[in-house]
């Protein structure tokens, strides 16, 4: 009985003394460059800093790695004094601290690449991606920093910019996605009336959109009774902190499903249709749509019959000649056939000078008072028909124009 009581007391004391240690393996160490550029000349200095952010604000020690090799430094900062070419590589750090149950490690940080150049020229570019619309700054450095006379910038081997002056900095404003690529530079300077020129190695510049095109994911529920599915709008938002809020909209057959939400997902009833989503940042006046994604069996839209033309939309062709009286036979056009023996005389119309009247537009009908030469000849030879073609008092009613559609 005494042994049982002592065991209970010991277990209770151990729970009071040993705190609940959080799972610190879920934390990731953060690495950053303290020096301005990660591309340096041999003999120069580079500095890195490591940190771990946790809610307990505990004290951490740090491990440093170049590739898979563990370095001897253990402090918060790593300094490369008088850097050598063999110091080039990808650097990582990891947090470590001692607890009552042993040492706890964080996840290794993301890498930072340091390039130590033994040549004469370096093109220094931003370490992080540049956003669309921002200004890209590049520096064409020459060992010893001589006063430069000319700097030429190349993209993928093609010259894109040339500038004269002493400053090695090059600026590209309002960059676009097409500006991403491999850049290099050529620098020239004079020493004792002799011109020296060197060219750098390539440096990659990455350009990102502030808001990428969303991708819609449809996840139907495995429970048939729920008859629900989850719509998730995946988007890459690259605005610098503090970033303005982003709103999400979901659509079925181009009809919005509910109001805007700050969550990138929504639960809806499983209904066949074409689904899409939209991501919008009101403060930046940015919005992007996803590609439509079908779900279920969608009925094909019925093909509508071709529309019948409206009578008012029909216009007579320019060379069509209308007749005043439909009871009259159509005029016979002159042909090259031999004249009939019953016709004693053949009338040959003479060419007359063009009139100075208004020209007919393509959309107007030919006035019905225009007669062919043969019709006119038949009028003059047929008694009793001349009065039929008296000119009306109001020409607008007989001009053949189609009245305008009522408003």
| Dist. CA 219–CA 229, nearest whole Å | 6
Q: Tell me, what's the pLDDT at 226?
A: 79
Mean pLDDT, contiguous 10-residue spans, the chain (407 residues): 51 46 70 90 94 81 94 91 94 89 88 93 92 94 92 94 89 94 95 91 93 93 82 92 92 94 92 95 92 84 52 44 41 43 44 44 42 44 43 39 39
Contact 278, 254 (CB under 8 A): no
Contact 39, 203 (CB under 8 A): yes
| Dist. CA 157–CA 182, nearest whole Å | 8
Dump the DSSP string for 218-254.
EEE-S-TTT-EEEEEEE--B-PPSSPPP-EEEEEETT
| Dist. CA 141–CA 36, nearest whole Å | 13
Query: Dihedrals φ, ψ of 375, to 5°?
Result: -60, -40
CB-hemisphere CA count at 13 Å for 376? 9
Q: Tell me, what's the pLDDT at 88?
A: 95
Q: Tell me, what's the pLDDT at 221?
A: 82
Q: Tell me, what's the pLDDT at 399?
A: 35
Q: How far is CA 20 from the centre of its chain?
A: 49
269: tokens are 């009833």
Of 168, 152, 169, 150, residue with least CA distance to 160: 152
| Dist. CA 199–CA 186, nearest whole Å | 4
- CA 192, 198, 203, 205 torsion-angle sign: positive
Q: Tell me, what's the pLDDT at 167?
A: 84
- For residue 11, the surrounding DSSP H or E stretch is helix 2-17
| Dist. CA 398–CA 383, nearest whole Å | 24
Q: Which domains does the chain have, with CATH numbers?
A: 19-116 (2.60.40.10), 119-208 (2.60.40.10), 215-295 (2.60.40.10)
Contact 53, 30 (CB under 8 A): yes
Dump the DSSP string for 314-379.
----TT----S-TTSPPPPPP-SSPPPTT------PPP-PPP-SPPPPTTSPPPTT---HHHHHHH
Q: Tell me, what's the pLDDT at 301?
A: 56
Query: Dihedrals φ, ψ of 16, to 5°?
Result: -75, -35
Query: Dihedrals φ, ψ of 57, to 5°?
Result: 50, 45
């Amino acid at each position: 009985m005494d042994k049982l009581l002592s065991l209970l007391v010991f277990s209770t004391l151990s729970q009071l003394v040993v705190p609940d240690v959080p799972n610190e393996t879920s934390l990731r160490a953060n690495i950053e460059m303290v020096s301005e550029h990660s591309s340096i000349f041999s003999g120069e200095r580079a500095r890195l800093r490591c940190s771990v952010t946790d809610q307990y604000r505990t004290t951490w020690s740090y491990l440093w790695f170049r590739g898979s090799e563990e370095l001897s430094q253990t402090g918060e900062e790593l300094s490369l004094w008088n850097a050598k070419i063999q110091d080039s590589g990808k650097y990582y750090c990891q947090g470590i601290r001692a607890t009552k149950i042993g040492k706890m490690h964080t996840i290794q940080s993301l890498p930072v690449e340091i390039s130590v150049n033994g040549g004469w020229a370096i093109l220094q570019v931003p370490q992080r991606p540049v956003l669309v619309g921002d200004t890209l700054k590049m520096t064409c450095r020459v060992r010893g920093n001589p006063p430069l006379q000319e700097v030429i910038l190349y993209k993928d081997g093609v010259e894109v910019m040339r500038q004269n002056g002493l400053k090695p900095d090059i600026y590209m404003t309002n960059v676009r996605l097409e500006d991403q690529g491999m850049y290099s530079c050529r620098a020239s300077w004079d020493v004792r009336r002799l011109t020296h020129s060197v060219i750098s190695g390539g440096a990659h510049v990455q350009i990102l959109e502030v808001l990428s095109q969303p991708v819609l994911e449809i996840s139907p529920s495995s429970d048939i009774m729920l008859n629900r599915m989850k719509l998730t709008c995946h988007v890459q938002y690259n605005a610098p902190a503090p970033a303005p809020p982003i709103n999400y909209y979901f659509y079925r057959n181009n009809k919005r499903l509910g109001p805007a939400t700050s969550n990138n997902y929504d639960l809806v009833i499983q209904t066949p249709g074409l689904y899409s989503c939209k991501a919008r940042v009101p403060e930046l006046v940015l919005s992007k749509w996803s590609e439509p994604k079908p779900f279920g069996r969608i009925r094909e839209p019925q093909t509508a019959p071709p529309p019948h033309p409206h009578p008012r939309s029909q216009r007579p062709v320019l060379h069509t000649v209308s007749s005043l009286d439909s009871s009259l036979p159509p005029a016979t056009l002159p042909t090259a056939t031999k004249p009939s023996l019953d016709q004693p005389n053949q009338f040959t119309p003479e060419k007359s000078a063009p009139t100075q009247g208004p020209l007919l537009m393509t959309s107007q009908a030919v006035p019905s008072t225009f007669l062919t030469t043969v019709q006119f000849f038949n009028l003059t030879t047929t008694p009793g028909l001349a009065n039929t073609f008296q000119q009306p008092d109001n020409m607008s009613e007989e001009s053949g124009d189609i009245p305008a559609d009522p408003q």
